[in-house]
Amino acid sequence: MSTEPELEEPVDEEPQPVFATLEDWVSGRFLPMYRRTLGGEFRWCAEWWRHAEAISRLTTLWHLWETLRLKPGTGMAEWYGHLDHHLPILLGARGPFYQCTEAEHLEPHQARAVAAPSWWWTGLAAPSEAGASLDA
């Protein structure tokens, strides 16, 4: 019988995110790091959280940042590949903030959609729509 205490094997703990929320990441990392002269080519809305597309894209970037910051070697290079795709869309003149200024939020236009006729998704054309096709 040994008198030495058994050594416990180290447990690999799951890395914790640096930022607890999207808002924390946007305020604490994204905005301080990626500065642009606003107006003209680049747009930003101080109420960015009112834009569903911005929330979706920024959430994607935040989660990627939290994951790729831990990847040795090329992790941040991969991150910049994603950022370089999303940044011109987010801040561009045709992006989600296209009507906003840094000082004023304007509700973005939502495209109109007309509901399809009830028979449309069955693949059967109504008699008056005989020429219509899902393959057209």
DSSP 49: G
Residue 130 has pLDDT above 90, yes or no: no
Containing 52, the helix (H) or strand (E) segment is helix 52-68
User: Per residue in 1-34, is it b (16+ CB within 10 Å) or e — as a string?
Assistant: eeeeeeeeeeeeeeeeeebeebeebbeebbeeee
DSSP classification of residue 39:
B
Average pLDDT, the chain: 85
**How many Å apart are CA 83 and CA 76, to the nearest integer?**
10
pTM score of the predicted model: 0.73
